[in-house]
Amino acid sequence: MVNNMNISAIIQARTGSSRLPNKTIEFFEGKTLLGHIIQRVKLCKSLDSIILATTSNYSDDCLSDIAKKEKILIYRGSEDDVLDRYYRAAKEFGTEIIVRITSDDPFKDPTIVDKAVDFFQKLQPEIDIVTNYLPPTYPEGLDIEVFSFSALEKAWQEARKQSEREHVSTYIYKNSSLFQHFNFIHKESDLSHLRWTIDYAADMEFTKRVYAEIYPHKPDFSWKDVLDLVNQFPDLQAMNSHIIRNEGLKKSEMLES
């Protein structure tokens, strides 16, 4: 078991999304999407710091401004080589245990994040990465990854394919002989058919409706509050249920095959 190591959540974000540009600065319920994600990550009990890893592009100055307002750390680097941006952010701030957060997941849950960190610490030094979506049993958007800096550094040194540079942990998952994985599941039921992430306009509309229902009276709502809501109103769940899970990663891998 590992104690007293620097644990940081690194939020990867940019405004230049190909599928839904500027989604990170979409404003609803008093904050931008990025602002809401940062607020939720701040509720985690296991973290020493939060880092925004954005690009050096002028267009992403607005994201840096949001991070400054929220008083979190900032690293700016490559737009396309996300693995390099992630690695350099972790290295600059001395991060030893990394919690990967993406800026398209407005329902990231602190209890799930803390559970993943706890698993990672208890399973050291045997495990390099802890996840909850191999296989997935939580709604898409509650995916979490916790991994060591040494695993990230090895991936950064050795990954060559475009999909392995665009997606931070792809090289780690593809090389199970080099990295030891641990996956935890939602034991009560398989909820992987639910979609709580933002790639398209339908996803954003779903998010805004859920936030409008819950956020004003409970800004620190849990993922189970969202589950109760979609169970109560099935039309919400139907809004974006036609979209394929992890579509972006699958497309980039198909282009290389």
Which of 167, 124, 171, 128 shows the shortest CA–CA distance to 147? Answer: 128
Residue percentage of the chain with pLDDT more than 70: 94
> CA–CA separation, 237 vs 206, rounded Å?
8
The whole-number pLDDT of residue 19 equals 85
Q: Global pTM?
A: 0.93
Domain encompassing residue 206: 7-256
Range picked from 1-15, 211-225, 232-246 for highest mean pLDDT: 211-225
Residue 142 lies in a domain: yes
Please spell the DSSP secondary structure of 192-254, one letter per residue. Answer: TT-B---SSHHHHHHHHHHHHHHTTT-TT--HHHHHHHHHH-HHHHHTSTTSPTTHHHHHHHH
CATH number assigned to the domain comprising residue 242: 3.90.550.10
Task: Inform me whether the pLDDT recorded for 235 exceeds 80.
Answer: yes
Helix axis angle, 201-214 to 223-232, nearest 10°: 100
Residue 227 lies in a domain: yes
At 148, which helix (H) or strand (E)? strand 145-148
Confidence of residue 241 (pLDDT cuts 50, 70, 90): confident
Residue 2 lies in a domain: no
Residue 220 lies in a domain: yes
CB 130, CB 147: distance < 8 Å: yes
Residue 72 lies in a domain: yes
The whole-number pLDDT of residue 246 equals 65
Residue 121 lies in a domain: yes
Using CA atoms, how far residue 141 sits from 93, 103, 145, 162, 178, in Å, is: 26, 10, 12, 23, 27
> CA–CA separation, 65 vs 63, rounded Å?
5
- Mean of the pLDDT values across residues 114-125? 97
The 10s digit of each residue's pLDDT in 199-219 is 999 999 999 999 999 999 999
| Number of structural domains in the chain | 1
Residue 110 lies in a domain: yes
Residue 177 lies in a domain: yes
Task: Inform me whether the pLDDT recorded for 236 exceeds 50.
Answer: yes
